[in-house]
Amino acid sequence: MQLRELDEKYSIAARGGIHCACLAHETIGTQNTGTVRFSVGVFNTIKEADKALEAVNAIAKS
Protein backbone atom coordinates (compact mmCIF):
# COMPACT_ATOMS: atom_id res chain seq x y z
CA MET A 1 0.00 0.00 0.00
CA GLN A 2 1.30 3.41 -0.88
CA LEU A 3 0.59 5.63 2.11
CA ARG A 4 1.92 8.60 0.20
CA GLU A 5 -0.78 8.09 -2.43
CA LEU A 6 -3.46 7.97 0.27
CA ASP A 7 -2.25 11.36 1.47
CA GLU A 8 -1.54 13.09 -1.84
CA LYS A 9 -4.35 11.74 -4.01
CA TYR A 10 -7.12 11.20 -1.46
CA SER A 11 -6.13 13.56 1.41
CA ILE A 12 -6.32 10.69 3.89
CA ALA A 13 -3.80 10.32 6.70
CA ALA A 14 -2.90 6.79 7.76
CA ARG A 15 0.02 4.99 9.34
CA GLY A 16 1.72 1.85 8.15
CA GLY A 17 3.82 -0.63 10.07
CA ILE A 18 3.73 -2.98 13.02
CA HIS A 19 2.10 -0.50 15.47
CA CYS A 20 3.84 -1.89 18.58
CA ALA A 21 1.97 -5.17 18.15
CA CYS A 22 4.63 -7.66 17.03
CA LEU A 23 2.86 -10.71 18.45
CA ALA A 24 -0.44 -9.75 16.85
CA HIS A 25 1.26 -9.43 13.47
CA GLU A 26 3.01 -12.76 13.97
CA THR A 27 -0.36 -14.36 14.72
CA ILE A 28 -2.04 -13.01 11.57
CA GLY A 29 1.03 -13.42 9.36
CA THR A 30 1.78 -9.77 8.64
CA GLN A 31 5.06 -9.46 10.54
CA ASN A 32 7.02 -8.92 7.30
CA THR A 33 4.65 -6.43 5.71
CA GLY A 34 2.77 -4.73 8.53
CA THR A 35 -0.65 -3.19 8.07
CA VAL A 36 -2.28 0.16 7.42
CA ARG A 37 -3.96 1.79 10.40
CA PHE A 38 -6.66 4.41 10.30
CA SER A 39 -7.48 6.23 13.53
CA VAL A 40 -11.08 7.35 13.74
CA GLY A 41 -12.93 9.30 16.35
CA VAL A 42 -16.34 10.64 17.23
CA PHE A 43 -16.04 13.45 14.70
CA ASN A 44 -15.42 11.15 11.72
CA THR A 45 -18.40 10.34 9.53
CA ILE A 46 -19.54 7.21 7.73
CA LYS A 47 -18.90 9.08 4.48
CA GLU A 48 -15.25 9.59 5.47
CA ALA A 49 -14.88 5.91 6.39
CA ASP A 50 -16.38 4.91 3.04
CA LYS A 51 -13.96 7.27 1.26
CA ALA A 52 -11.01 5.63 3.03
CA LEU A 53 -12.19 2.14 2.07
CA GLU A 54 -12.74 3.19 -1.54
CA ALA A 55 -9.23 4.69 -1.64
CA VAL A 56 -7.65 1.53 -0.24
CA ASN A 57 -9.53 -0.60 -2.78
CA ALA A 58 -8.48 1.66 -5.66
CA ILE A 59 -4.82 1.61 -4.61
CA ALA A 60 -4.86 -2.16 -4.06
CA LYS A 61 -6.20 -2.68 -7.59
CA SER A 62 -3.60 -0.39 -9.20
Q: pLDDT digit string (tens) for 32-53?
A: 988 888 999 999 999 999 999 9
Domain range annotation of the chain = 3-61
pLDDT at 3: 85
Q: pLDDT digit string (tens) for 4-22?
A: 889 999 999 998 888 889 9
Helix (H, G, I), strand (E, B) or coil at 55: helix
| E strand or H helix that includes residue 5 | helix 3-10
pLDDT at 1: 58
- The answer to pTM > 0.85 is no
Q: pLDDT confidence of 55, banded at 50, 70, 90?
A: very high
Length of the chain: 62
